[in-house]
Amino acid sequence: MTSKRPTEKELLKGLDERTSHSDELTQPLPQELTPLARLKGSVKRYDRPTDPVWDEWFDSEGRATEDLMTERLVGRERFARLIEDSGGIWLLPEVLNFLKFTESEVRDRLNRNELLAFTIGPQSLGFPRFQFDDENRCVIVGVKPFLEETASWDPVSQIRFLLVPYQPESNGETPLDLLQRGETDRALELARLYLEQRP
């Protein structure tokens, strides 16, 4: 015995903008989903949630390309080398011991742009070692004005700016060198110029 297939008119009978719940009755086809919706449930963890991942990782068709993946991997390796060459990082316990602060005091200074840190895990922060003055057991003087000037940047961009030579063809000096010598105004001037030139 064959069952009669309902007509479109019969299916739509009694439905209007207040009584229809088609989104609860049907499942969208894969091609109807956005690129991020298709990824739902497949991404286990991303260690740096503030990084601009999606617009760099996906091409115009919403698929990751091998070139972009390779470029991003190279970028991470280059960033890791920059950090390592500048003295590495401290984790929160080391910063607490060095500055003789409580955890809440350190987090308060992070919020006030007095310390620089970036996410290295789900609940871990890395504090670049270069921002600390070993002799006086404090943060170098130029860090706070630099972080205030570049508050709209993400921490990774701030770190890269400080560690990359601004005139590599000459003496290879970095904005961090300027901050460590007390030439804060010059470093801030370079930061403003860099911000103006960014796309």
Alpha carbon distance 83, 131 (integer Å) = 11
Kindly state the average pLDDT of the residues 7-13: 65
The b/e string for 175-187 (b: 16+ C-beta within 10 A; e otherwise) is bbbbbbeeebeeb
Is the pTM of the predicted complex or chain greater than 0.75? no
Q: pLDDT over 70 for what percent of the chain?
A: 60
Residue-level pLDDT at 53: 38
Helix %, strand %, coil % of the chain (to 5):
50, 10, 40
Residue-level pLDDT at 167: 73
Residue-level pLDDT at 176: 94
Average pLDDT across the chain, whole number: 75
Asked if the model's pLDDT at residue 144 lies above 50, the reply is yes
Asked if the model's pLDDT at residue 50 lies above 90, the reply is no
| Angle at which helices 92-99 and 103-111 cross, to 10° | 100
Q: Which residue has the higher pLDDT, 50 or 172?
A: 172
